[in-house]
Amino acid sequence: MIQTVSKTFFHSLAGSNQLKGLASKYGLRNERSFARRFIAGETVEEAIEAARPIEAAGMSQTLDLLGESVASIAEADVATRAYLTVIDKIVAAGIGRNISLKLTQLGLTIDRATCVDNLRRILDAAGKHDFFVRIDMENSPFTQVTLDVFETMWQQDYRNAGIVLQSCLPRSVKDAKRMNELGARVRIVKGAYKEPRAVAYKDKAQVDAAFMEIAKLLMSEGTYPAIATHDPAMIAAARAHAAQHKIPSDRFEFQMLYGIRRDLQAQLTAEGFRVRIYVPFGSEWFPYFMRRLGERPANIGFVIRGILSER
Ligand code: FDA
């Protein structure tokens, strides 16, 4: 209940242009600014610098140039070209080659064919340099079309891409089976968006139970799944499943978000598990940041401390 209210509250704030303007001005201004805990910076250079210590600590990363729901074909083209530059800069920097992106950033809400063309441009460039490209999952109006676009690319032999499924949606069990059939790599998450009752579980216990059901399905029958959560109960259940079914630790990875549960990230790495950190960056960080606050209002504490420490 509390979680639903806070999700609703922060999702509504995420739509405020005034707040966005104010936050964007101060949130990443310097190393101590309040959004730094969760956002690596505005530029790809800053994201690469954030990725280096992650790799030095034995983890891997995926860089995500933040942005969603662009309003024109021109903006989608700008985002696509920005990703092509990100690919070049990652290659030049010599860090791990893995990126995450959103289809509405590439123009999905404006014109599906343009979005597919843009995705193809990115996958072609990524393929040349041996990158893996994760297509993030957005809110439920985009679930089917995201899976359709993914499968279209898969059928055209783009195998350097993977998808995300959300356990808050009852449909995801069936989608996971389909992805296992294809041999596609899936990241399982609980789901970050506020969803209508008609399509999503409202009860956290159901979301958690579905997460474990899908995680087990992916670990036992899928291809190198990513178990993306900070929830110790989910992580313990995944570990127990791997131990019980003798699934080696190099057949799956845990994923966590930059700045969240850094203790757990280090602990799993020390215990020999693969851990990948999702490193978000870019000027369009406000909606992502508000989703993180909505998940854990206690994070407001970091923000307030950050703002006060700037005075
Ligand atoms: P849950 O929210 O149930 O929290 C369990 C515990 O984790 C908390 O008690 C707390 O200890 C810790 N925790 C969780 N969130 C925290 C926070 N913000 N700050 C501090 N502690 C926190 N979603 C989506 O819809 N589409 C996507 O493509 C992705 N992609 C993605 C990639 C990766 C690598 C991760 C880790 C997550 C996503 N998500 C996502 C987000 C995901 O759906 C979900 O909203 C968050 O991971 C929070 O859910 P948890 O599973 O962590 O548990």
Q: Average the pLDDT over each of 26-30, 48-52, 263-267 and give the range with the smallest value.
A: 26-30
Q: How confident is the model at residue 311 (pLDDT cuts 50, 70, 90)?
A: very low
Is 171 one of the annotated active-site residues of the chain?
no
pTM: 0.93
CA-CA distance, 92 to 95, in Å (whole number)? Answer: 8
- Domain with 208 in it: 40-284
- Judged against a pLDDT cut of 70, whether residue 307 lies above it is answered with no
Does residue 48 or residue 302 have the better pLDDT?
48
CA-CA distance, 300 to 290, in Å (whole number)? Answer: 10
List CB contacts of 273: < 8 A, sequence separation 6 or more.
239, 249, 253, 254
Q: How confident is the model at residue 1 (pLDDT cuts 50, 70, 90)?
A: low
Percent of the chain clearing pLDDT 70 (strictly above): 90
- Same domain for 248 and 108, yes or no, is yes
Tally of domains in the chain:
2
Computed over every residue of the chain, the mean pLDDT equals: 92
Give the pLDDT score at 128.
Answer: 98
Does residue 278 line the site of ligand 1, with CB under 6 A? yes
pLDDT in tens, 187-222: 999 999 999 999 999 899 999 999 999 999 999 999
CA distances from 177 to 96, 138, 153, 185, 192 (A): 29, 20, 18, 12, 22
Does residue 98 line the site of ligand 1, with CB under 6 A? no
Give the pLDDT score at 310.
Answer: 45
- Same domain for 202 and 299, yes or no, is no
Other CB atoms within a 10 A radius of the CB of residue 140 amount to 19
- Same domain for 127 and 227, yes or no, is yes
Does residue 37 or residue 23 have the better pLDDT?
37
- Same domain for 118 and 245, yes or no, is yes
Is 187 one of the annotated active-site residues of the chain?
yes
Q: Side chain identity at 256, as an amino acid letter?
A: M
Does residue 167 line the site of ligand 1, with CB under 6 A? no
pLDDT in tens, 48-67: 999 999 999 999 999 999 98
Does residue 189 line the site of ligand 1, with CB under 6 A? yes
CATH number, domain at 265?
Answer: 3.20.20.220
Q: Give the distance, in angstroms, between the CA of residue 130 and the centroid of all CA atoms in the same chain.
A: 20
List CB contacts of 83: < 8 A, sequence separation 6 or more.
65, 99, 101, 122
Q: Average the pLDDT over each of 5-19, 29-43, 110-124, 170-184 and give the range with the smallest value.
A: 5-19
CA-CA distance, 1 to 250, in Å (whole number)? Answer: 37
Mean pLDDT computed over 23-50? 85
CA atoms within 13 A on the CB side of 100: 25
186 within 8 A of 165, measured Cβ to Cβ: yes
Distance 231 CA to ligand 1 centre (A): 8
- Same domain for 54 and 200, yes or no, is yes
- Same domain for 121 and 186, yes or no, is yes
- Same domain for 191 and 60, yes or no, is yes
Does residue 194 line the site of ligand 1, with CB under 6 A? no
Give the pLDDT score at 308.
Answer: 61
- Same domain for 249 and 311, yes or no, is no
- Same domain for 52 and 192, yes or no, is yes
Give the pLDDT score at 256.
Answer: 97
Q: Average the pLDDT over each of 26-30, 65-69, 163-167, 204-208 and give the range with the smallest value.
A: 26-30
- Same domain for 248 and 305, yes or no, is no
Q: Side chain identity at 101, as an amino acid letter?
A: L
- Judged against a pLDDT cut of 80, whether residue 288 lies above it is answered with yes
Distance 3 CA to ligand 1 centre (A): 12
Residue environment code for 234-270, b if the CB has 16+ CB neighbours within 10 A, otherwise e: bbebbbebbeeeebeeeebbbbbbbbbbeebbeebbe
- Same domain for 82 and 55, yes or no, is yes
Q: Are strands 185-189 and 132-135 parallel, antiparallel or unpaired?
A: unpaired
Give the pLDDT score at 299.
Answer: 75
CA angle 130, 163, 274 (to 5 degrees): 65
- Same domain for 134 and 208, yes or no, is yes
Give the pLDDT score at 297.
Answer: 74
Choice among 36, 37, 136, 274 that is catalytic: 136
